[in-house]
Amino acid sequence: MKNIKSITLVLLAIISSAVSFSSWALNVTASVNKTKVSKDEVIQLKIVADQKLDGNKVDFSSLSKDFYLGRPNFSSSVNILNGTRTDSSIWTVAIAPQRIGKLTIPSFDVNGVATSPITLNVTIDEQTPTTKDMVEVRTQLSKSELYPKESALLDTRIIVKVDPRLLQNPNLTSPQATGLDIEAMGEPKQYQAVLDGMEVMIIDQSYRVTAIESGNFAIKAPTLTGGVLYGNNRSGTTKILTLDTSSPTVDLKVDPIPEGYNGSWLPTSKLSLSQTWKLDDGKNVASKSVSIASGDSLTRTITLTAAGLTSAQLPNISVSNPEAFRVYSEKPSFKSNDDGSITMITKQVLIAQHGGNFTLPAVKINWWDSVNKKPAQTELEGLNVSVTANEMINAVSPVSSPTSSLPGTTTIVKDSGSWPYIAGLFAALWVLSSAMWYRTSKANQNHLSDNSPMSSINNASIKENLIAAIKNRDPIATQTAYRSWKGTNSLSEEDDVLLRNEITKMNSAIIGSDKDVIWDDKTALKLIEKAKAKESKAGAALAQL
């Protein structure tokens, strides 16, 4: 009997242990709310474990190949009922099949326990809107035929016909094409509008398309990608509709450079040139000829506008003027116009050195007319200049015979190096100071004896003009003001050289090509005050004699 009782106790212990072990094992299940769905329809995938686990125990990344995934949600709970404790961990995620047919939700490993795979039957819903129903793309190309290095404007408009709040991860793609350089012009413009009685969102974006090589090309227009949250009121279902990447294409033909073409290649549908001539006093020269005195200056401003080109493609205009003039040039400035054309403005200041009759050269630009498919030339007339001789300037600045001069020439330079600012500035300022010294020599002779109140007021005004021009960093105004101020002051040769050097540095820093030149107005302003103080002391000394 004792043996039978011992065996019974052992069996009861084994059974009790087995039951306890079974209660400790982890149970995990995976389920969906429906297995027959339509493409893009949203359903819920749920994974439940009967233990309290961490939220990172389930990885849903394996679903991204065939399903659109929402944001996973995790929760855990503990329930105690009649002394019995129950733990649970639940993962839920919204998924939407991206293709039709039989799709399988794979098995998930949860803390070493695998769930069973789930098979879905996915069909197409004919009432589901397509991408064309929700997004429309319109394009317009300014020119359908180009030449290498010529460009056209591609205007695109994306019309979104659904509530923008329903868009999921929207992304604006870029136009694509091989053999072309496509660059966005500014940022896209996004706004609400009413189109055919429907409230829509519009995205406008312009691109510059530049031809690189000849051939026939197709530009794939930009479009909107991502998803759209769509609810079917009839069936009560919700879908995430995937926007496909298909978009219209724009055809472009690029003609080859004509055989036998010589010279710089400048293809454009339209090119215009204009110019103005200004005298020292700011007045425009209205005729084909003008008379000035040696030491006077002429300012020539040339404006070039071309369509279908970038600023880097516009030519540098280098004018070879007669040797009787000293010239310095400002760096060209550029402006983009609303029609896609580019305007370049160049300016030259020419200072006459001696008397004589001269012809400032015409400007000619050769280009290729891409509309009429033939070479073209645009020309600006030159200017006949009669310079009155100045004996004092001729004495201090020997030059070649003033009685004759050969006309200058114009060279169109492509991809030239730095403009020769510094040399021109030194020469221009030297000639300018010589001329001004002569013009004001008589005034200087009487200056020390002129102690009238009106003279003091005029001198102060001239000095203020010079200081203002320097502080405004205006090279041309500074030179003019310095000329007037110097005529009312007895500057020493040393002060004159130092001030003219400061003006040269200012020109180099502001309009020169040497980026290493650093200039501020402190030294120049100190020199002006120093020269004024010397003059006051000299006047006081003379008054005591």
What is the residue whose two structure tokens read 């609400």? 192
Closest CA to 141 of 85, 72, 220: 220
Cα 157 from Cα 460, distance rounded (Å): 62
Closest CA to 430 of 468, 382, 482: 482
pLDDT tens over the chain, length 545 residues: 555 555 555 554 454 444 334 345 889 999 998 888 888 888 899 999 999 898 888 999 999 888 988 889 999 888 888 878 888 899 999 998 988 899 999 999 998 899 999 999 998 877 778 888 889 999 999 999 999 999 999 999 999 998 888 888 889 999 999 889 999 988 999 999 988 778 899 999 999 999 999 999 999 999 998 888 887 766 667 777 888 878 899 999 999 999 888 878 999 999 999 999 999 888 899 899 999 988 888 999 999 999 999 888 898 888 889 988 988 888 899 998 888 899 999 999 999 988 899 999 999 999 999 999 999 999 999 999 999 986 544 444 433 333 333 344 444 444 434 434 444 444 455 445 544 544 444 444 444 334 444 444 456 778 888 898 888 888 777 877 888 887 777 778 788 888 888 888 887 777 665 556 678 888 888 888 877 665 555 454 444 44
Closest CA to 127 of 26, 12, 205, 231: 231
Give the amino acid at 150: E
Element (H, E) at 408: none
Please state, in angstroms and as integers, the Cα–Cα distance from residue 375 to each residue in 141, 182, 254, 297, 442, following that order. 24, 27, 17, 36, 57
Q: Where are the beta strands (DSSP E) in 389-476?
A: 409-413
Q: pTM higher than 0.75 for the full model?
A: no
Q: Is 410 exposed, middle or buried (0-12, 13-18, 19+ CB in 10 A)?
A: middle
> Are 137 and 222 contacting, i.e. CB atoms less than 8 angstroms apart?
yes
Cα 474 from Cα 170, distance rounded (Å): 50
